[in-house]
Amino acid sequence: MTRVVVVGAGPAAHRFVECLHRRGHRDPVVMLGAERRPPYNRMLLASVLAGALPAEAVTLPDLPAGVEAYRSATVTSIDRATRTVHLDDGRRFRYDALVLATGARAVVPRVPGIRWRGGLSPQVRPLRTLDSCVALGPGPVCVLGGGVLGVEAALALRRAGHRVTLVHRHPYPVNRHLDAAAGTLLARHLADRGVDVRLEREAVRYDEGLLVLRDGETVAANTLLLCAGARPRVELARAAGLAVAGGIVVDDRLRTDDPHVYAIGDCARYGRESGGGVARAWAQAETLAALLTGGRRRYEPVPAVVRLRDPELSVVALDRPRPRAADGRAETVTFTDPAGRRHAALEVLAGRIVRGVLYGLPQATAAATQLFDRDLPLPADRLALLLGTPPRTGTGDLPDDAVVCFCNTVTRAGIVAAWRRGCRDRAALGEATRAGTGCGTCVAEVDRICERLGAEPARGPATETGRLLAVGSGVTP
């Protein structure tokens, strides 16, 4: 019998116990959640905060039968020798396998005035838990930190009618995932929606509803919403003597340096990977569930798809942590449309997306994300992919009145007419039309036209020639 104890009740823990059950594990499973609420989906917090979604809407599905789930259960220590976890109320649970899914906590910037009497000032609120999403009071809101969460919160609050300022240290929002072009478009969108965006600014003090920035500017902030990132919760692991380095260190079996202790989700660190959101947490949860039920899987870093959740925006960042070793060509594909506020930049290796940013291109985003997820090659016509148009091929005819030879103003029609009169190669065509006899640049195109005409079935020349000459070049003899 394997008794599994899970510390944490977030998406990683939830997915883990679910998978464990699905894979036939019927031994005891204990899930210890510190919050008083049932497990919920953190990705939608910004909408809950703004009142666009009720709190119940983000609750995760019920746990499988047989899982002993406890709420408000705070684990205070792990006794690895006896394989026991201790709770603050004196309860204790023995384990055969301990899974740490303690998640991360919001970063509280070291800005005087934010902390108050050992906690946070009442007007300061980290956006991390459902508890932090109770309705905001009246007055202006300042969102500190312009990452994904901060931007989502600023837009959602603005939509709900709040006065919102977004303060961000970097030159453009979501700088961890976006490039400068997409970030700049995003900043413009925020400004258009009425968010007061302050970039490359740092807070130095908070007092009495006023956030003071380093350059002396002040921002009205009856509520200060902290969206300055999150740090893995590692205290429990560290106190238990487990290896910690920017997260609880795990191997590709998600095992810590204690063979009976595992870590998954935001609290875990595998290789150079840490944080990285819910897709990663889910992949780790599934892998670990498989391993604990006799599977031979190994954890592999998952391709990250970071989306901004906003009804008006289509923004996605793609990042494959370990692209397949490929001797294929590396290529950068970019699309920029400043006026239409669209942008895409893809890094492609051996035909597959390794990294990418797409802004304002919903159709291309859907197609590209799918190819990225499944590690499939892009179609040859990258532009068609980005524009959502049917792909073009490398062959086809120019329009009849297209000028082929610019030196001598010879159109395709002029060349076709001469060809139909019997000029079947570059030299003969050059003599008849002067095409290709100037700078010589167009001879490749003249050759291509010849080749295509030669390949097509014969046509009645008379009417064709008459029509073509009418639009042909003035210098055609």
Partner 1 sequence: MTRTLVLIGHGMVGKRLIEALRAGEHGNDWRVVALAEEARPAYDRTLLSSYLTGGDAERSALLTPSVPDDPAVRLMLGTPAVRVKPGRRVVHAAGGERVGYDALVFATGARPFVPPVPGHDRPGCFAYRTLDDAERVRRAARPGRPAVVVGGGVLGLEAAAALRALGMRVHLVERSDRLMAAQLDAAAARVLAAFVAGLGVRVHHATTVASVDGGPGGAVRGVTFAGGATLPAGLIVFAAGVRPRDELATAAGLTVAPRGGIAVDDRCRTADPHIWAIGDCAAVHGRCYGLVNPGYRMAEVVAAQLLGRGGKTFTGSDASVRLKVMGADVASFGDAHARTPGAVEFAQLDRAAGRYAKLVLAADGRTLLGGILAGDARAYPTLRAMLGRELTIMPPGLLAGAASGR
Residues contributing to the site for partner 1 (CB under 8 A): 329-337, 339-340, 342, 348, 351, 378, 380-384, 386-387, 389, 391-399, 402-404, 406-407, 409, 412, 439, 441-445, 448, 474-475
CB of 472 to partner 1, least distance (A): 14
Nearest approach, Cβ of residue 459 and partner 1 (Å): 21
Nearer to partner 1, 296 or 329 (CB): 329
Q: Which is nearer to partner 1, 246 or 379 (CB)?
A: 379
How far apart are CB 334 and partner 1 at their closest, in Å? 5
Q: How far is the CB of 27 from partner 1 (least distance, A)?
A: 52
Distance CA 361, CA 341 (A): 9
Rounded least distance, CB 56 to partner 1, Å: 44
**Cβ at position 65, least distance to partner 1 in Å:** 52
- CB nearer to partner 1: give 127 or 364: 364
DSSP-derived pairing of the beta strands 342-349 and 410-411: unpaired
Q: Judged by CB, which is closer to partner 1: 223, or 408?
A: 408
Nearer to partner 1, 82 or 395 (CB): 395
Q: How far is the CB of 365 from partner 1 (least distance, A)?
A: 16
State the nearest-atom distance from the C-beta of 115 to partner 1, in Å. Answer: 46
Q: Report, in Å, the least distance between residue 392 CB and partner 1.
A: 4
> Cβ closer to partner 1: 393 or 463?
393
CB of 286 or CB of 347, closer to partner 1: 347
Q: Nearer Cβ to partner 1, position 136 or 407?
A: 407
3-state secondary structure the chain: CCCEEEECCCHHHHHHHHHHHHCCCCCCEEEECCCCCCCECHHHHHHHHCCCCCHHHHECCCCCCCEEEECCCCEEEEECCCCEEEECCCCEEECCEEEECCCEEECCCCCCCCEECCEECCCEEECCCHHHHCCCCCCCEEEECCCHHHHHHHHHHHHCCCCEEEECCCCCCCCCCCCHHHHHHHHHHHHHCCCEEECCCCEEEEECCEEEECCCCEEECCEEEECCCEEECCHHHHHCCCCECCCEEECCCCECCCCCEEECHHHEEECCEECCHHHHHHHHHHHHHHHHCCCCCCCCCCCEEEECCCCCCCEEEEECCCCCCCCCCEEEEEEEECCCCEEEEEEEECCEEEEEEEECCHHHHHHHHHHHHCCCCCCCCHHHHHHCCCCCCCCCCCCCCCEEECCCCEEHHHHHHHHHCCCCCHHHHHHHHCCCCCCCCCHHHHHHHHHHHHHCCCCCHHHHHHHHHHHCCCCCC
User: Of 82 and 393, which has the nearer Cβ to partner 1?
Assistant: 393
